[in-house]
Structure 1
Amino acid sequence: MSRPEDLLPPDLYYNDSTSRSYTTSSRIKNIQAEMTYRALALLNLQSPSLILDVGCGSGLSGAILSSQPNAPQLTNPGGPHTWIGCDISASMLAVALENDSPGDLFLADAGQGIPFRPGTFDACISISAIQWLCNAESSIETPQGRLKRFFDGLYVSLRRGGKAVLQFYPKDASQKKMISDAAVRAGFGAGLLEDSEGTKSAKTYLVLNVGGGDILGAVNGMEGVDVDERRAGKGKGSKKWKKGKPNKGSKAWILGKKEQMEKKGMVVKPTSKYTGRRRKTPF
């Protein structure tokens, strides 16, 4: 059976007819709810938060975000939450508006970036959406470019310490690696979880953290998951891991260069708390 993303671009695949049948299917609603509760459990939010829902569709996940006190599946609901949803399908968003979705909605292609100010959101979820970013619809675009724009924008839009849980259906191991690698390159700490691995009901969750915190702490005590934790500059593929050297541009790298220059008798600027600090991306 063909995967939907192999048939048409998402804005064409989810037309008026498909969007309505998707939203009214009891099977799809149950699966969507299960994965949304799972994502919220991994986020482990302690209080009502502002959440970005990427690929929000007709608002099935958003309805759960807005009604957390009635969430028996969660030991600590932390809600109700306020959420903003984006989707590339105008038909899906139209169904959400007809159903009086409680979230703010906007039409956008996540592969072109996340258009919000730095530190806007406390958290992000995405259910069954980011695999679509691996499809380039023109010869001037590439899956790698779309993933880079998405993860770079998401990293900036989340506050420091914020988390994201992105559930997706990878086509194969190489696509799974391409997606997780793009997240790590953007600066996220990343944990890749597999629920029911090797079965038809397998679900893949990419758990991301913006600076600080422990990704593994989000899944302590959970059964039936495999975790691959990485962070930019600390994984097996990084220069730091291979050679014991700091990443180029990091504070440690800058201090090392300053020390070399001083030994040569050159004048260097004094070190301060701002040395090596990453500049925020302007809005």
Structure 2
Amino acid sequence: MSRPEEIAPPELFYGDTEAQKYTANSRIKSIQAQMTARALELLALPEDESAFVLDIGCGSGLSGEMLEEEGHVWVGWISRRVCWVKVALEREVEGDLFLHDIGQGFGFRPGTFDGAISISVIQWLLNADSASHSPPQRLARFFTTLHSCLRNPSRAVFQFYPSSDDQVQMIVSAAQRAGFGGGLVVDYPNSRKARKMYLCLMVGQQEVPKGLDGEEMSVEETAKRREEIKNERRRRKESGGRKGKRGKKDVTAKEWILKKKDLYRTRGKEGVPLDSKYTARKRRVQF
């Protein structure tokens, strides 16, 4: 079977049908959950506080949901495809979403994020999908701007599917030239089916974690582990510890909209509508 990145650019391959199918497939969601859980483990965020995380290539927000469950705030960066935004909004994800080509780099302020994760994305940067695309230049711009927007110390963890050792070398070299430390973490290296590759990049001096060995966790074991994490977080919350996931049911639509408006004004965004008695009013259905 051909690899998706070899069939068409992401803005063409992931059409409305493909995006819906990807998000609704239970097997894909299970695999995504396992890889995101492992990426968060490698990210090694502080357990006693909420972190601000960049989810690169967030798609419909499957990884973002796990970040929310861990009590973190996240921003999603989506490739140039509106269908992902539609699916994410339908699923009512909590993170703010940006629609932009990751090969053009990031425009965030230095030291904005406490960490970054990415699941099955960076291999797309290795394809020249147009005459203006140069994989080495796109990788350099990607990693240089990412390094700038991460605080020191912090980590960025990328799960990816390289098609050759040359691609691995190109990605690792580009990250090192941008100033990152760290390296590759390979889980289950002796298993053709369970083998997973993670690029664990470091800002600041840190030790590279080791890969997993032995048998891969089953879907049931992964679900059980996630339930244990939720219960532990709930116990910490009840005992006055770290805050848990923000409850949607405790916040009205108007409160949520006013909060979003305040956030946009704080960021200096222009054109934010004024608050009035009509804010968050229910619209009449048009037939």
> If the length of structure 1 is used for normalisation, what is the TM-score?
0.72
> 1:134, 1:39 → 2: CA distance?
21
For 1:22, the equivalent position in structure 2 comes to: 22
| Percent of matched pairs sharing the same residue | 51
For 1:131, the equivalent position in structure 2 comes to: 123
After superposition, the C-alpha distances for 1:189-241 in whole angstroms (9 at most, x for unaligned) are 02201112251332110001112222x2x33xx5329xxxxxxxxxxxxxxxx
1:152 aligns with 2:136: no
1:179 Cα deviation from its structure 2 partner: 0.6
1:55 aligns with 2:46: no
1:166 aligns with 2:169: no
1:114 aligns with 2:129: no
1:61 Cα deviation from its structure 2 partner: 0.2
> 2:127, 2:179 → 1: CA distance?
23
Aligned length: 210
Say whether the 8 Å CA contact 2:108–2:149 is kept in structure 1: yes
- Superposed counterparts of 1:232-251, under 5 Å: none
For 1:199, the equivalent position in structure 2 comes to: 192
> 2:128, 2:213 → 1: CA distance?
34
Counterpart AA for 2:175: A
> If the length of structure 2 is used for normalisation, what is the TM-score?
0.71
SS, match of residue 141 in structure 1: coil
- Superposed counterparts of 1:70-109, under 5 Å: 80-88=71-79, 89-109=81-101
> 1:50, 1:136 → 2: CA distance?
32
Counterpart AA for 1:58: S
For 2:220, the equivalent position in structure 1 comes to: none
Counterpart AA for 1:223: L
Counterpart AA for 1:192: L
SS, match of residue 66 in structure 1: helix
For 2:261, the equivalent position in structure 1 comes to: none
For 1:44, the equivalent position in structure 2 comes to: 44
> 1:213, 1:204 → 2: CA distance?
19
1:37 Cα deviation from its structure 2 partner: 0.4
1:184 aligns with 2:166: no
Unaligned 5+ runs, structure 1: 69-79, 226-283
Say whether the 8 Å CA contact 2:188–2:212 is kept in structure 1: no
> 2:212, 2:115 → 1: CA distance?
24
> 1:82, 1:40 → 2: CA distance?
13
Counterpart AA for 1:205: Y
> 1:113, 1:207 → 2: CA distance?
19
1:42 Cα deviation from its structure 2 partner: 0.6
- Larger helix share, 1 or 2: 2
> 1:155, 1:94 → 2: CA distance?
29
1:160 Cα deviation from its structure 2 partner: 1.0
Say whether the 8 Å CA contact 1:183–1:190 is kept in structure 2: no
After superposition, the C-alpha distances for 1:120-168 in whole angstroms (9 at most, x for unaligned) are 0000000000100111222232111111110001000100101100100
1:182 Cα deviation from its structure 2 partner: 0.6
For 2:222, the equivalent position in structure 1 comes to: none
> 1:15, 1:133 → 2: CA distance?
19
> 1:15, 1:190 → 2: CA distance?
35
> 1:190, 1:45 → 2: CA distance?
16
Say whether the 8 Å CA contact 2:186–2:212 is kept in structure 1: no
> 2:50, 2:201 → 1: CA distance?
19
After superposition, the C-alpha distances for 1:43-68 in whole angstroms (9 at most, x for unaligned) are 11113100000000000000000012
**Which moved further from structure 2: 5-14 or 89-98?**
89-98
